[in-house]
Structure 1
Amino acid sequence: MEVTLSPKKRKKVSKKKVLLIIVSVIALLTLIMFSAIPPLVMKDMINLHVDFEVYAAEDYGVKADPLTLETEDHFSIAAWKVEQEQEQPKGIVILLSGIHNPSVTAFFGYSKMLEENGYDSLLIELRSHGASEGDKIYLGTTEYLDVEAGVEYIKSQEKYKDTPIIVWGTSMGGTTAINAIGEIPEIDGLISFSAFSSGTDVFIDNMINMGAPSWFAKIERPFVWMYLGLEFGFDKMKINPVNEIQKLNDRPALLLHSTEDSQVPYASFERIKEKAPDTTETFVREGDYHFIFDEENFDNPTKDTEVSTVIIDFLQKNFK
């Protein structure tokens, strides 16, 4: 039997359909907007090869031997080794830099400080930076393989047969250092400066720091995670400092951050610290010190006695 609606009822049904269409369009546009933000902000930050100034070791008072490392996933990675004068070093420290600058060669001043205290160093230019191959930055989710190549090189050298290996990174290098010690059991210790707890976290934290409402940032979080998962591979998203710091076991670690860090907000440090073993040492500096050392002492960190003492004391206590 055919049912005929009255004009009044047909009008009500028509209004409901229109309302449903409007709501659906708004929902779709909202979804598109939230999905578009991560690639708009991050695409040009991660899909590139970074070229920057490379510094000369002799300007920092050290001698460096250039090396080329080969990673498990077939990237050629530039590196430099600095050796102290003693026949057997107390340890060898792998140094790592950040997402866009500077070159790891800017850390030859760190090598000088380490050399003076009996430690060799291996400076690794992470993939997609400088003379290292690559055209994408993986925010530490894959760069730990560059550290693994460095560890394999060290282990292949008779000189370092029984030498402790410590990884020390700054910013994204700090994130990579934490991921590396979690994934590579041959690493004996960790020093991390201003690491972010994950790519998603640092994106959201900076949104809030720039004035975005917290509710907006919370809604955006899964879209950031989805975008990074599509860029890096969803299997890599579990490789982040919050997860990897839990794999330290009894290996010594030192985490450093500044309270007003304008590049990697302090919230990342709090997340990592919360998951770190109780034996993990920490140092917090008041103010905005992304590189932890005073900017004026970056080239000669021993002049910043507050921080350099913390670093050397940590090394001497754990790796004599």
Structure 2
Amino acid sequence: MRRKQSENVPKVPTSDQDLVYNFPILWKTLWDMPQIKVLSTKSLVRFNNVVQDYLRDEGMRQRKAAYVEVDTIADYVDDSFARGLNQYNFLYTADDLKKLDEVVILNPDGQKLQALILRNNRSKKWVIALHGWTENKFLGLRQTYLFSKLGFNVMTIDVRAHGASYGTKTDLGYSAPYDLASCVDYLKTHYGMTNYGLIGNSMGGSIVVKYAEDIGYLDPALKFVIDDCGFSNLLLEARYFFQRQTKMPWWKVSFGLRRKFKKVFGYDPNDFDIRKKLSRTAQIPMLFLHGDADDLVPLYMSEQLYKEKIASEQIVVSELIVFPKAKHVEAISVGHKQYVNGIVQFLKKIGEIK
């Protein structure tokens, strides 16, 4: 008869060591392999169902009492009020929103990407925002408001399988950098863009860093990247997600994850590791934002990215700002003053605003 195991499941990992195999974990895995295989299979099925189950470009979303149609201006306004951004007057006015242009951009495969553009005819500078998992281009507007008021032109994009863009199943942002490249080319061709920055939250934060190290490092027009609570490695993030969902140690519920994930999503989650090529981005200033109460993407991931980023900088320009008591994607609201001041000072330091 197997002995009953009692495990202390950490609430939030504080380093990679909390999410990787070591000798004791390997021993316990082998000891309880039959049960672990069953639990892991169930967990991956549940994971796939959860990550694909969200509203896209139709349907009604309820945040508090009211229902609003998703992927619309009303969705953006309702989200801003739900986050309390209205108390800071930190949202676009009705007149601003009337000026939004909705455009369709084709990627190299001819697949349609939906985007929003808000012009400032007095400026050549742009910021492009990438939303998080389950969100859309309208919710991405909350990240662009500050930049619009600072004089930037702005664009937000529906990433694959979100909003009105192509795709029936999300790949959690893995292919998005290449779609983002199509949007950058579109702005250069149609608007003569010569200067742009990127901002993304959660999945979008990981996307903008991945774009910078895969593609953007070759583009002198890319002036800065802001990553708001993105994950550093999808394999480790998925293990933590399984642990968080099941309330069990990750190694009990994620055996064979890489092989099974690749079968379902088409790639190895360990390949979505944005730490590996950060040295390519030595000339691109980056600002990392993260709440210290984030229980979805651990704070240590941004700390790790920041440390890796500045290791390649001859003169340290990149920054990390940690927001006390802010949970996932709450820096903009819970830490609002620090959020605004941090971004403004960062942009001043790198010469993007005066």
Superposition TM-score tier, normalisation by shorter sequence: 0.7 to 0.9
Counterpart code for 1:253: M
- Matched with 2:183 is 150
Structure 2: segments with no counterpart, 5+ residues: 1-29, 58-69, 75-91
1:127 aligned residue (160, 166, 183): 160
2:151 aligned residue (118, 138, 147): 118
CA distance in 1, matches of 2:109, 2:53: 18
CA distance in 2, matches of 1:124, 1:30: 40
Residue 139 of structure 2 aligns to a residue whose secondary structure is helix
TM score, norm. by length of structure 2: 0.71
Residue 73 of structure 2 aligns to a residue whose secondary structure is coil
Counterpart code for 1:106: L
- Matched with 2:192 is 159
Equivalent pair of 1:201/1:268 in contact (CA under 8 Å): no
- Matched with 2:16 is none
- Matched with 1:198 is 233
- Matched with 2:258 is 225
1:288 lines up with 2:306 in the alignment:
no
CA distance in 1, matches of 2:152, 2:229: 23
Residue 250 of structure 1 aligns to a residue whose secondary structure is coil
Structure 1 residues 290 and 33: CA distance shift in structure 2, 3 A:
closer
Residue 78 of structure 1 aligns to a residue whose secondary structure is strand
Once the two structures are superposed, residues 275-313 of structure 1 have per-residue CA deviations (whole angstroms, 9 ceiling, x without a partner) of 22343211100113322445489xxxxxx3321121122
Equivalent pair of 2:120/2:152 in contact (CA under 8 Å): yes
The structure that is helix-richer by fraction is 1
- Matched with 1:316 is 348
Structure 1 residues 208 and 233: CA distance shift in structure 2, 3 A:
closer
Bigger shift: 279-288 or 28-37? 28-37
Identity %: 19
Equivalent pair of 2:71/2:137 in contact (CA under 8 Å): no
CA distance in 1, matches of 2:263, 2:132: 22
CA distance in 2, matches of 1:264, 1:95: 19
Once the two structures are superposed, residues 186-244 of structure 1 have per-residue CA deviations (whole angstroms, 9 ceiling, x without a partner) of 2332101110123322222244456845xx42465552222222233336742332224
CA distance in 2, matches of 1:237, 1:44: 20
Q: Which structure's CA Rg is the greater one?
A: 1
Counterpart code for 2:348: Q
CA distance in 2, matches of 1:59, 1:289: 29
- Matched with 1:70 is 106
Structure 1 residues 46 and 211: CA distance shift in structure 2, 3 A:
closer
TM score, norm. by length of structure 1: 0.77
- Note the 1:1-150 alignment, pairs <5 A: 27-28=33-34, 30-46=36-52, 50-51=56-57, 52-55=70-73, 59=94, 61-62=96-97, 63-86=99-122, 88-89=123-124, 91-101=125-135, 103-150=136-183
Equivalent pair of 2:235/2:269 in contact (CA under 8 Å): no
- Matched with 1:8 is none
Structure 1 residues 283 and 97: CA distance shift in structure 2, 3 A:
same
CA distance in 1, matches of 2:72, 2:334: 19
Residue 284 of structure 2 aligns to a residue whose secondary structure is coil
Counterpart code for 2:164: A
CA distance in 1, matches of 2:322, 2:196: 24
How many corresponding residue pairs? 284
CA distance in 1, matches of 2:178, 2:111: 9
Bigger shift: 196-205 or 43-52? 43-52
Structure 1: segments with no counterpart, 5+ residues: 1-23, 298-303
